Structure 1
Amino acid sequence: MAILLVFFLTIITTVSAIPTTAPAKSDSFTPPDNYLLDCGSSSQTTLPDRRIFSSDSTSSQYLKYGGREIAIVDQSADVPLPIYKSAKVFDAEATYSFHITNTGWHWVRLHFFPIRNNEFKLQQTKFTVVAADSLVLLHEYGPKEMEMQEYLMNVTSERLNLRFSANKDSPAFINAIEVVSAPDMLITDNSDALFPVGQKVDGMTKYSFQKMYRLNVGGPTIGPGNDTLGRTWNSDEKFLKSAAMAKNVSIAPSVVTYLEGGSPLIAPPTVYASLMEMGASDTIAPNFNITWEFDLDHAYPHLVRLHFCDIISKSLNELYFNVYVGGKIAISALDLSTVANGLAVAYYKDVFVKANMVSKPFLVQVGPLNEPMGTKNAILNGLEILRMNNLVNSLDGEFGADGRSTYGPSRGTVAAVGFAMMFGAFAGLGAMAVKWQKRPQDWQKKNSFSSWLLPLHAGDASYTQSSKTSLGSKKSAFHSSTMGLGRYLSFSELQDATKNWDSNSVVGVGGFGNVYFGVLDDGTKVAVKRGNPQSEQGINEFQTELQMLSKLRHRHLVSLIGYCDENSEMILVYEYMEHGPLRDHLYGKNLPTLSWNQRLEICIGAARGLHYLHTGAATAIIHRDVKTTNILLDENFIAKMADFGLSKDVGMGEAHVSTAVKGSFGYLDPEYFRKQQLTDKSDVYSFGVVLLEVLCARAAINPSLPREQVNLAEWALQWKRRGLLDKIIDPSLVDQIKPESLNTFAEAAEKCLSEYGVDRPTMGDVLWNLEYALQLQDQGKTEDGGSGLALANGAPLAPTVDNRPVITQAQGNQNSAQVQIIEEHSGTAMLAQFANLNGR
């Protein structure tokens, strides 16, 4: 018994002696390839973290170099690590070559410090580094101070070459090199896209990555010696926009646990053991975000990795918060206790950010959820931002290793084109008119804006004349009576209006390209949609939108102001909608909440726009992408339908259009998805989802919620059928909305979401129901004599003017009402509703 007791005490003593920050043995990683070179040193170098760097003096083993071998050493250099006291300098092309034992992910870390010496001015040097013969790591690079560039590459061959190319009269140099295997789990093949939310991006393992930022949020810097993979995690303090809005919290790293399948290889426990939370989270209603600012290059896509660990909650399902990346919501209503299956459990989320969605400054934010339950707080434990290679396989600059440019021509071609442009500028102006007269027969098939814009006006004499004059005129005010394209705007005008396409002016992003806010020289505020010529989807959507808007004019449809087709550009200019998408006013942006009356009026406006599309145009038009981001609000909160890139004409007598399924996840008509037959009832279904978004102020699809709550339509209808819909509506509406108005509104949404299109109402019917819900909401004012509506059995009847039905619509001051005549298209629907009034 005594022997057993001694043995037990020995085990306890041994375990307690293990450092709490050390990962378990099963989570350790021994890299098959582990090359550490101290370049220019004559002997091996041991760092304070006990890593040993070998000398590259025996250069034949790794270095292939035909020039003069130059080693520079300065033992007196004021540097934190001895590897920066020596360097290898090359006055010709040099290549380091490493044998790869196991293909897969590898770290490549390049250390630079321009050591002062009598022969070379390394502070003024410019050189290029290419990895694996095709990946540009550095282009025209010249470090002015000590730097470490870190990359993560998926190596697929048995050798990895690092080629240093010196420029003329400018040598290349390197102080130290690391080529170290990384675990396969570090980067998986798919990631979540920032936009559209819920979309998956595959093929991540085909990219290479450069570390831009790696932060231990709320904690001190973590050096390579305290990270299993030799990474450095910097403090987040200098990136925090407002330190007063955040406070740090930390616990013992030993408390942190990992999900099944998780590992400290993703991030060590010390990262998850500290965080930043809201600085005033104990206030009654905190309404701000914690914000970190970064400088990123919008020429590259990026991977943003967010690390979370709830070390502050006392119980499960207590903390809900939103996460924003680049000004857009990345995670809605994140409940870490659910996704991580407990408290103090490490969890991370990858977000893929397209190049055209990278803004300056680039913001990462966390903020509280506007919900009555839970703690009003938000946290972040760690953050990594990795640059991904561009289309020409470069992580630095527009040119690839083969000279190709991201803009198309090669390096030599760019120079030749520059000279040719100077030489041919004057000749080109004179030849333009001749070229127009002698254009090739297939000019309409060219992949440019003009190629699909001009044929729409074939036979239109006013267009032909204006097109010719516009070639030499900066402002051609051509107006087509049939197509309504409006004003011709030159590229320079739009460039000035958008401040040279300033990334800070971007107000929207899509498959076509960016949408910019601009101000024309006459003071008109506009939204400028600039097409991406490389996007086939964008060209098709532009063409469809042009065709639709050129023949549509309605108070509740966004108006087209003009266009530009210079230099094969694809640019459309619209009226600017001051208050942006409806969704921004419902959730995710911390904007002032909309009243119930405002929401009803917005829904009525959108319904009028859709009703006009279905019945008021020459041929019925199905929008096909009805959602809260495509309902825009002007300065008076008047709703207008936008984005007709997916719209379809339905010919006279046609009940449907057979077409490939397109639309937005969460709004898609299930019958359309099954049969691939598009009808106007598909828009009705999508509008039903919009009505629930307006009512509940949450996303149509939210993958972070429990399974039964992910799909808003299914979840809300379950509560509606149980008679408990009022329990899940936007909390700000609880004391505003009258039960009769809520019931009418909810019934309209439920009918819109019927499984089969034949059971759904028309948009005219939906419109009347919404107008009726607004009357019911205003019933109290009516009984006080506000609008003089007659009452029958306690229900308000719609008044008439000249025997035409009208509604009462509150605008601005809710104590006054203004009578407006309903559009004629809704009359039939209203009469049908009157016949069944007693059934409500």
Structure 2
Amino acid sequence: MGGDHHRPTRALYVSSLLFCLVLLNLKRSIVLANNEGADSPAVSPAPSSSPTSFKPSDSYLLNCGSKSEMKMDDGRTFKSDTETSSYLSTSEDVQASVASIPESAFSNSTPSTLKDLYTSARIFPSDSTYSFFISKPGKHWIRLYFYPITHQKYDLKTAVFTVQTDKFVLLHDFSVDDESKVVFKEYPVNATQHFSLIFKPQKDSCAFVNAIEIAEIPDELLSDSASSVPQGNTLNGLSNYALEVSYRLNMGGPTITPRNDTLSRTWAPDTPYNLFPEGTEAAKGTTVKYRPDHGMTRLVAPDMVYLTADRMASKAYQQTIAPNFNLSWAMNVDGTFSYLIRMHFCDVVSKTLNELYFNVYINSLMALSNLDLSEKAGELNTAYYTDFVLNASLITNDSITVQVGPTTNAGLPNAILNGLEVMKMSNLADSLDGLYAVDGSYKGPGASKLKIVAISGLALAFVAMLFLGVVCVRWKKRPQDWQKKKSFSSWLLPIHGSKSNFSSRKSSLFGSRKSKSGYSSVYSNGLGRFFNLSELQNATQNFDEKTVIGVGGFGKVFIGTLDDGTKVAIKRGNHGSEQGVNEFETEIQMLSKLRHRHLVSFIGFCDEDSEMILVYEYMANGPFRDHLYGSANKPTLTWQQRLEICIGAARGLHYLHTGAAQGIIHRDVKTTNILLDENFVAKVSDFGLSKAAAMDQGHVSTAVKGSFGYLDPEYFRRQQLTEKSDVYSFGVVLFEVLCARAVICPGLPRDQVSLADWAMQWHKKGMIEKIVDPKIAGTICEGSLKKFAEAAEKCLAEYGVDRPSMGDVLWNLEYSLQLQVASSQTDRPEDKSNIMVLEKGSESGEAKSNPAVAVAAESDDSNVTVGSQVPFPNAASISGR
């Protein structure tokens, strides 16, 4: 009986044991299947599982200022730099720690999964160095974590310091701008065998860091070459540059944390950067394939990037605007640097091969035309990426816009993007932050000329007399009565000249109706026309998205038509945002007082119902630069037309300097800020950086702002802004017009990178004709070229006192034009077959718009970017100021 009593129990035990064995075998089969799948071309996604990892030859993970190691949820362990103190050389052992970091300090790009790394910090009262041995020299990640936690002696919120390697400057005079947010910096940098990371606090300050990562980067991740923008050339030698990751976006998907990335990277959602989310829908695949023979492995990007994508929403491409609509993303950047842009693709939307064709644009320039993912990747659901380099000279308003849109011959209009990486490239100073090298030397404009020579009083007087003699011989000073001899009275208008056709009307009081501007009891008289909100709604079809031609930090820019048929550019501030209040006030106060044929006109504003709206003259032919080298579909401007445009811009600047009640310094003169109307009349725009001149001092002491390549080196050194700073920038513009090339080209040999330095070298050799734009070479008479180049050279004098006034420059450009006109009347060029002459006022002279090319917009916002296409002819650009 006893045995029978226990028989069911034993049977149940045996059954349970067999069941467990079955589960173990099943689990083992699953593990083996997953391991085999790691090497196979296709896998099913498993976002919750750990991705295929890379085991670097060198990996240093330091939890700085902590007394213990820290293990992350992704499996990595950060060791205490106190325990591994052999890496650190510092004069003082200063540490800080807190119990926790608030969740509000983190964002999608800095996930809180690594929050424990920010709870401690190493503080450096003086220069300090971390030294590492690198067994496999080459590209390595440098990841730095910063959060100003509390310390009883050192205030980390006010710390200012520099971080550099032996060769590259990573951060120069860095401080945490927003003390409530953590800061994460990520750099792919070449590391030598004996690699150093150096922290240099500013005088009377300190440096700090919360955590450091240094790890090898797999060879297949970064290529040595990339395509140029616009499309056409391949740039090599990228491995010599240090990079800084500015953006890493997962299109159509969620945040990817280091736990789910192959190389412990973070990928943020693209939503905050999507300019037109209403025209975008997310797509999702089920499998992704990698082709190692094409250089594609999971190390390039994890499955979760390629399995999601943004595509054109069905409702968008079913409407009539389909050929003009582009998916668009905009990101703020430092416009003085060039950028490496990587775009990730995986066709998870097509049912068959060769079904999806689209174009890729970067900053309105064609980066890739008729991209066929089936041809590039070989199969559907197959990972593919492509790299581009965007030159600093092609970045306007400190913004990069990436767009994908259908081609005109596409069967089904559609376009996709799976992932996007934007990386800053080191500059001539081997820096990723400013123009100072690791030895502290300045490598910016005019650096080779910064030499001070001690000269006796007699020698100085002799040099001055010699200089005056040269000026008398070579530089034709304008006659005293030059204005009487020339018909310039038509463009030199009084500052409160004739009223525009738009009648001024009494506005609602600034400060009322929940006004943002802060004005009180101020009427629109003298400040331009006051528009009712309903008027601007009617002009833009109630701010219809179809009329958007630009988007910036201030808000969207619309093209509108007023009741009298006048086309205008309407810039609407972000509703409910306080951003741009100062710019709104400054624009109204300054631009409403400026009236000149060669300045873009400010028409009026709206300050009703918490709106901040500015209205400007519409400029049909866009930026001057686009007609020089920025757009392939625009006809070549003749030399005479270029001269006339330069003369118009010079007239506008001359008026700013001398015609206004108080002189105004533009401070950002460049070819993108010279706009052309429907008759190709030049008008200076973009007064966001302008300053009223201090007549009593002769200069304005102010922080350096402007565009790299055009910046006056004397202004940069002394931080004293003068009218001659505009003259220097205009000299760069003149050489840009003559040579039709970007002012900064990092990919060229060092002596050719800077257009100003390169052109001056050829001019000193007396061979300026060697670098003239080939499209107009042979059409310029010798005298006109000589006079023009002479004017440009004088503008680029090292010191402002040696530069001519804008009036003198204008006179010499007029003289150059006279010589060209006289020559063309007696000796026509033999061949003008490569030039399409644009007659002023001729409809045939306007550049025809390409519906697949994005529309550029000029605005006063520092981060204005390009939106979707607009169904308006010749909507090349608008004036933003």
Residue 250 of structure 1, CA deviation: 1.5
Residue 617 of structure 1, CA deviation: 7.1
- 3-state SS in 2 of match to 1:397: coil
How many angstroms apart in 1 are the aligned matches of 2:303 and 2:442?
42
Residue 226 of structure 1, CA deviation: 0.9
Residue 41 of structure 1, CA deviation: 0.3
Equivalent residue, structure 2, for 1:761: none
Residue 82 of structure 1, CA deviation: 0.8
Residue 491 of structure 1, CA deviation: 10
The structure-2 alpha-carbon separation of the partners of 1:520 and 1:121, relative to structure 1 and needing over 3 Å to count, comes to: closer
Higher relative contact order (CA 8 A, sep 6+): 2
Residue 105 of structure 1, CA deviation: 1.0
How many angstroms apart in 2 are the aligned matches of 1:473 and 1:407?
38
Question: After superposition, where does 1:97-112 map in structure 2 within 5 Å?
Answer: 97-112=131-146
Of 468-477 and 361-370, the range deviating more from structure 2: 468-477
1:321 aligns with 2:488: no
How many angstroms apart in 2 are the aligned matches of 1:358 and 1:284?
32
The structure-2 alpha-carbon separation of the partners of 1:32 and 1:200, relative to structure 1 and needing over 3 Å to count, comes to: same
Contact 1:63–1:94 at 8 Å: present in 2 too? yes
Query: TM-score w.r.t. structure 1 length?
Result: 0.57
- 3-state SS in 2 of match to 1:352: strand
1:366 aligns with 2:404: yes
AA in 2 matched with 1:151: Y
1:346 aligns with 2:370: no
How many angstroms apart in 1 are the aligned matches of 2:306 and 2:359?
19
Residue 387 of structure 1, CA deviation: 0.3
Q: Deviation digits for residues 381-414 of structure 1, max 9, x if unmatched? A: 1000000000011100121112332324669959
Contact 2:247–2:420 at 8 Å: present in 1 too? yes
Residue 17 of structure 1, CA deviation: 6.1
AA in 2 matched with 1:94: S
Equivalent residue, structure 1, for 2:844: 638
How many angstroms apart in 1 are the aligned matches of 2:138 and 2:204?
37
Contact 1:505–1:518 at 8 Å: present in 2 too? no
Identity of aligned residues (%): 30
Equivalent residue, structure 1, for 2:208: 173
Equivalent residue, structure 1, for 2:94: 70
How many angstroms apart in 1 are the aligned matches of 2:481 and 2:438?
41
Equivalent residue, structure 1, for 2:469: 438
AA in 2 matched with 1:269: D
How many angstroms apart in 2 are the aligned matches of 1:473 and 1:386?
52
1:138 aligns with 2:171: yes
Equivalent residue, structure 1, for 2:478: 469
Equivalent residue, structure 2, for 1:194: 229
- 3-state SS in 1 of match to 2:145: strand
Contact 2:344–2:386 at 8 Å: present in 1 too? yes
Of 217-226 and 360-369, the range deviating more from structure 2: 360-369
How many angstroms apart in 2 are the aligned matches of 1:73 and 1:26?
32
How many angstroms apart in 2 are the aligned matches of 1:494 and 1:639?
29
Contact 1:74–1:86 at 8 Å: present in 2 too? yes
Question: After superposition, where does 1:6-405 map in structure 2 within 5 Å?
Answer: 13-15=30-32, 20-21=45-46, 28-58=53-83, 60-66=85-91, 68-78=92-102, 80=112, 81-131=115-165, 133-143=166-176, 144=179, 145-155=181-191, 157-195=192-230, 197-252=231-286, 254-258=287-291, 260=293, 261-279=295-313, 280-283=315-318, 285=320, 286=322, 287-360=324-397, 361-371=399-409, 373-405=410-442
The structure-2 alpha-carbon separation of the partners of 1:621 and 1:249, relative to structure 1 and needing over 3 Å to count, comes to: same
Residue 638 of structure 1, CA deviation: 3.2
- 3-state SS in 1 of match to 2:148: coil
The structure-2 alpha-carbon separation of the partners of 1:380 and 1:468, relative to structure 1 and needing over 3 Å to count, comes to: same
How many angstroms apart in 1 are the aligned matches of 2:56 and 2:330?
34
How many angstroms apart in 1 are the aligned matches of 2:349 and 2:412?
11
- 3-state SS in 2 of match to 1:270: helix
Of 15-24 and 37-46, the range deviating more from structure 2: 15-24
How many angstroms apart in 2 are the aligned matches of 1:61 and 1:640?
68
Residue 264 of structure 1, CA deviation: 1.3
Query: TM-score w.r.t. structure 2 length?
Result: 0.54
How many angstroms apart in 2 are the aligned matches of 1:233 and 1:284?
33
- 3-state SS in 2 of match to 1:72: strand
How many angstroms apart in 1 are the aligned matches of 2:267 and 2:388?
19
AA in 2 matched with 1:181: E
Could you say what the CA RMSD is over the residues aligned between the two structures, in angstroms? Answer: 5.1
The structure-2 alpha-carbon separation of the partners of 1:466 and 1:174, relative to structure 1 and needing over 3 Å to count, comes to: closer
Of 561-570 and 301-310, the range deviating more from structure 2: 561-570
The structure-2 alpha-carbon separation of the partners of 1:317 and 1:166, relative to structure 1 and needing over 3 Å to count, comes to: same
Equivalent residue, structure 2, for 1:786: none
Contact 2:65–2:97 at 8 Å: present in 1 too? yes
Equivalent residue, structure 1, for 2:548: none
- 3-state SS in 1 of match to 2:380: coil
Residue 535 of structure 1, CA deviation: 3.0
The structure-2 alpha-carbon separation of the partners of 1:695 and 1:165, relative to structure 1 and needing over 3 Å to count, comes to: closer
The structure-2 alpha-carbon separation of the partners of 1:206 and 1:632, relative to structure 1 and needing over 3 Å to count, comes to: farther
Gapped regions of structure 2 (runs ≥ 5):
1-21, 36-43, 104-111, 489-638, 658-663, 687-729, 737-754, 798-802, 812-820, 854-881
How many angstroms apart in 1 are the aligned matches of 2:274 and 2:58?
37
Contact 1:491–1:564 at 8 Å: present in 2 too? no
How many angstroms apart in 2 are the aligned matches of 1:550 and 1:504?
21
1:493 aligns with one of 654, 668, 673? 654
How many angstroms apart in 2 are the aligned matches of 1:354 and 1:229?
28
The structure-2 alpha-carbon separation of the partners of 1:152 and 1:17, relative to structure 1 and needing over 3 Å to count, comes to: closer
Residue 148 of structure 1, CA deviation: 0.7
Q: How many residues align?
A: 553
Residue 697 of structure 1, CA deviation: 10
Contact 2:779–2:829 at 8 Å: present in 1 too? no
Residue 172 of structure 1, CA deviation: 0.4
Contact 1:291–1:365 at 8 Å: present in 2 too? yes
Equivalent residue, structure 2, for 1:618: 827
How many angstroms apart in 2 are the aligned matches of 1:355 and 1:396?
14
Contact 2:66–2:80 at 8 Å: present in 1 too? yes
Gapped regions of structure 1 (runs ≥ 5):
444-462, 509-514, 554-559, 575-611, 642-693, 700-840
Q: Deviation digits for residues 257-276 of structure 1, max 9, x if unmatched? A: 44633111111111011111
- 3-state SS in 1 of match to 2:162: strand
Equivalent residue, structure 2, for 1:746: none
How many angstroms apart in 1 are the aligned matches of 2:226 and 2:839?
33
Q: Deviation digits for residues 627-659 of structure 1, max 9, x if unmatched? A: 8xx776865333499xxxxxxxxxxxxxxxxxx
1:518 aligns with one of 663, 671, 683? 683
AA in 2 matched with 1:137: L
1:505 aligns with one of 652, 660, 672? 672
How many angstroms apart in 2 are the aligned matches of 1:96 and 1:472?
68
Contact 1:501–1:516 at 8 Å: present in 2 too? no
Residue 379 of structure 1, CA deviation: 0.9
